[in-house]
Amino acid sequence: MIVFMNPLLERALVRLRIALNTPSKLKPTGKRYAISSNFGQFDAERKRRAGVCNMFANIEKSVDTVAHHYKLSRRKVVRILLEEGYLEDQRKQPNGLVKGGRRETDSNNNASQ
């Protein structure tokens, strides 16, 4: 595969993969989810996160199936799985500062330079 791809070509390739329903390139870490003994005391959001992790890691359902089941966007499910450590972070620049970026953290960094 081409290592350095034009961003426009890369987006077109992703859309083509989606259209052809090829498997995603997400890499699970292989970590198993263990349900906590105090699960009943979790708030609703924490229970949902636990359910997402359990369904993905232990029941081995796809991200799309989990998203559909919990009525969440695919992006939200991937974010939960990344935060909990069930997916490998493959972003080219994960959460880095962007020179000239519009985020508050970027503008604070640019002002100090």
Q: How do residues 25-69 score in pLDDT, each as one tens digit?
A: 788 888 899 988 898 899 999 999 999 999 999 998 988 899 999
Q: Considering the domain boundaries, does residue 74 fall inside one?
A: yes
Domain hosting residue 41, numbered range:
27-92
pLDDT exceeds 80 at position 8: yes
Q: CA-to-CA distance for 29 and 94, rounded, in angstroms?
A: 17
Cα gap 70→81, rounded to integer Å:
14
For the ranges 4-13, 59-68, 87-96, the one whose mean pLDDT is highest: 59-68
53 located within any domain: yes
Residue 11 lies in a domain: no
Is residue 104 classed exposed, middle or buried when 0-12, 13-18 and 19+ CB atoms within 10 A define those classes?
A: exposed
Residue 22 lies in a domain: no
Instruction: Assess if residue 88 is contained within a domain.
Output: yes
79 is a domain residue: yes
Q: What is the pLDDT of residue 76?
A: 94
Residue 21: left if φ>0, alpha if ψ -120 to 50, beta else—which one?
A: left
Q: Locate 67 and state its tokens.
A: 């998203």
Confidence (pTM) = 0.60
Number of domains in the chain: 1
Is 37 among the domain residues?
Answer: yes
Residue 41 covered by a domain: yes
